[in-house]
Structure 1
Amino acid sequence: MNHIYKLPVEVNVDTIRNINQEWIFLFNNNHYYCDSITFDFSDVNFIRPSGLAVVAALMKYVKNRNCYAEYYLKEAINKNVCSYMERMDFYSQFKIIKDTINRQENSGLCELKEVIDANTAYIVVSQLSDVIKSQINISDGTLNAITHTLGEIIDNIFHHSNSPINGIVCAQTYRHAIEVEIAIADCGIGVYESLKNTPNYNYIVNDAEALKLCVGKKITSKPFTNAGEGLFVAKRIITQNQGKMNIISGSSMYKISNIEDDIIKYPYWQGTIVNMVFNLDVPVNIKDIFDSEFPEDAVHDDFDEVFD
């Protein structure tokens, strides 16, 4: 049997929701061995970091499970899409050798990276900071807020997700829109499974409850560590920045757009997806966020570098 998964014309966090219903089969533990699978990009005309990271994570997850004898990728007819995917190191993630582009410095791209360890996380955050600074005149406070948030969330990938594949991260600045989009995806146990195995949160019954909790203050699956502020702080920063954030895990999606937030039903994702869009021309004072949310005598060792 051959399975073909056709990507939509525009691949982003919203359109992926529409096709994830087809992908649920790939996460099924009873998934039987098949002849081949094809990821078909032929109709794609535009792809955002959120779409690229999620598709890359899914392809790596499927490959890791060894459910298919052969794996195929059908390229986009649109050569600009092919060029973009190459510049974002999509092909190299799957050892597809393509070297037909001239890479440019200050391109506004943070290419696909696997989060293997803490050092990789540091490199990704540093690269993103450099990319943003090279593209747009941004205040130090806003830049620190963005990079701090990214660092906190990436840290969760290799400490808490138990993913059979490494987490995938990528980003891009959009100079004309004056924004940066950051996408992070893993195929781990997800927010619900991570929290429900913790005594403090074993009352949680579904993904929606878990997502609502995970953006709360001091919520962590590691109760004896000085952790748990990452997504809470991300929520506050996104709100102050009037940006957007989507957290997808299991069968639920938490959305922030400007200052409105909501939890809606999602087809299914094995693991966690975090997608953030920051407005680079809207200032953020992260120190004000901490001062308003945490007592003066609270331990802030994890965040000292933000104010350096």
Structure 2
Amino acid sequence: MVIKLPPRVYDDLGEFLGKMKRPNNEPVIFDFEKVVKYSPVALVTLICKVKSYLFDDIPVFFINHERFAACSYFQRMNFFSICDVSMPERFIRHESFGNFTVIQEFGLNKGSVDVISDGVARCCIPEEEKWKIDHPLENSEIYDLLVYAISELINNVVQHSEGRGFISAQFYKQTELVRIGIADYGIGVLNSFKNNASPHFRENWNDADAVKKALEPKVSSKNHITSPYMTPVNAGVGLSILKNLSEKLSGQFCLVSGNAIIENAQLKELAADSYFKGVAINITFKKSGLLDFQEALMETKRDLGLITRTGKFKGVMGNDD
């Protein structure tokens, strides 16, 4: 089966996944000839499709991948090295300067969640806020919330996926947009609720039911399971924080799992042969809007119960005072 990859993929995961049908135990050949521009979520979603085919013992091959228009970008983002394809690099690597994060793998013994979350958060916050991050007497509430949300989201994916995942982010100067893409090739949202015996789960659920439930604040397939400290192993708010950010800053939000996809609050079903084994999430927002975000920031934290009565950020472990 030959999959001719589309020239451009930004935020429309439904259309993108529609081109990657489920093969009938035949080799899958990805054709890169027409590829021009891919967003972070397109990159990590494509990696997960490759990994899931290989996991199911389906051979995967690349063609026209050595000299297509976006070849250097794919290499710079470590796409090919993650896919175990070795190619000479015809460019000089440079520092990201907080404008992007290369694709990073997370999961069991893969990547530090703290380091990954820090890198993505630095990519997201405005230049005017960055000096506060490492200052001994200052702190950036925007940075703190982003690190917390991203780390919680990654931990949530690791806990429910029973697989591995990938994350990347990029700032686009011309449009002031930040794009964050995260995807895994695990068991998906529905099976996570089911396998973890979540009290939220219902026997008649389909993928759409599970996805809709997962987007409710403070809902996780494991937030009924407590740690040795008698706190939930996952608070289920990382996804809600980032979803709220995209909505309040005129961005876009998309989540796909199984045959369900939700884009900007609209829940749809993918075709049966476009099934996505794990979870893929796309989050975009205007970086420039974060400077005027203090009121919306407090509103987001208040909505999710993340601030105390005195207005302090308490996260998962804190208690109201």
TM-score bin (small chain): 0.7 to 0.9
Assess, with a 3 A threshold, how the Cα gap between structure 1 residues 202 and 73 changes in structure 2: closer, same or farther: same
Equivalent of 2:77 in 73, 81, 88: 88
Structure 1 residues 264-283: aligned runs within 5 Å: 264-267=268-271, 268-283=275-290
Residues 86 and 98 in structure 1, CA contact (< 8 A), matched pair in contact too? no
Report the count of equivalent residues. 286
Residue identity opposite 2:15 in structure 1:
N
| Greater helix content | 1
1:123 to 2:127 alignment: no
- Distance in structure 2 (CA, Å) of the matches to 1:87 and 1:196: 38
Assess, with a 3 A threshold, how the Cα gap between structure 1 residues 78 and 303 changes in structure 2: closer, same or farther: farther
Residue identity over aligned pairs, in percent, reads 22
Assess, with a 3 A threshold, how the Cα gap between structure 1 residues 131 and 64 changes in structure 2: closer, same or farther: same
Residue 157 of structure 2 is matched in structure 1 by: 157
Instruction: Extract unaligned runs of 5+ from structure 1.
Output: none
1:37 to 2:51 alignment: no
CA shift digits 1:159-185 (9 cap, x unpaired)? 11112xx20111111112112101011
Residue 17 of structure 1 is matched in structure 2 by: 14
Residues 91 and 98 in structure 1, CA contact (< 8 A), matched pair in contact too? no
TM, length-normalised to structure 2: 0.79
**What is the SS of the residue equivalent to 2:22?**
helix
Structure 1 residues 207-286: aligned runs within 5 Å: 207-222=207-222, 223-225=224-226, 226=232, 227-256=235-264, 261-267=265-271, 268-283=275-290, 284-285=293-294, 286=297
TM, length-normalised to structure 1: 0.82
- Distance in structure 1 (CA, Å) of the matches to 2:19 and 2:247: 33
| Greater strand content | 1
Residues 54 and 273 in structure 1, CA contact (< 8 A), matched pair in contact too? yes
- Distance in structure 2 (CA, Å) of the matches to 1:82 and 1:170: 17
- Distance in structure 1 (CA, Å) of the matches to 2:129 and 2:188: 34
Residue identity opposite 1:94 in structure 2:
C
- Distance in structure 1 (CA, Å) of the matches to 2:177 and 2:184: 24
Instruction: Extract unaligned runs of 5+ from structure 2.
Output: 131-139, 227-231
Residues 192 and 210 in structure 1, CA contact (< 8 A), matched pair in contact too? yes
Residue 177 of structure 2 is matched in structure 1 by: 179
- Distance in structure 1 (CA, Å) of the matches to 2:281 and 2:54: 22
Assess, with a 3 A threshold, how the Cα gap between structure 1 residues 10 and 292 changes in structure 2: closer, same or farther: closer
Assess, with a 3 A threshold, how the Cα gap between structure 1 residues 49 and 19 changes in structure 2: closer, same or farther: closer
Residue 112 of structure 1 and its aligned partner are, at CA, apart by: 1.0
Assess, with a 3 A threshold, how the Cα gap between structure 1 residues 119 and 41 changes in structure 2: closer, same or farther: closer
Residue 196 of structure 1 is matched in structure 2 by: 194
Residues 250 and 270 in structure 1, CA contact (< 8 A), matched pair in contact too? yes
- Distance in structure 1 (CA, Å) of the matches to 2:62 and 2:244: 42
Residues 38 and 74 in structure 1, CA contact (< 8 A), matched pair in contact too? no
Residues 104 and 111 in structure 2, CA contact (< 8 A), matched pair in contact too? no
Residue 142 of structure 2 is matched in structure 1 by: 142
Assess, with a 3 A threshold, how the Cα gap between structure 1 residues 100 and 273 changes in structure 2: closer, same or farther: same
Residue identity opposite 1:120 in structure 2:
S
Residue 100 of structure 1 is matched in structure 2 by: 90
Assess, with a 3 A threshold, how the Cα gap between structure 1 residues 38 and 24 changes in structure 2: closer, same or farther: closer
Aligned-pair Cα RMSD in Å: 2.7
1:64 to 2:55 alignment: yes
Residues 237 and 304 in structure 2, CA contact (< 8 A), matched pair in contact too? no
Residues 254 and 281 in structure 2, CA contact (< 8 A), matched pair in contact too? yes
Residue identity opposite 1:144 in structure 2:
D
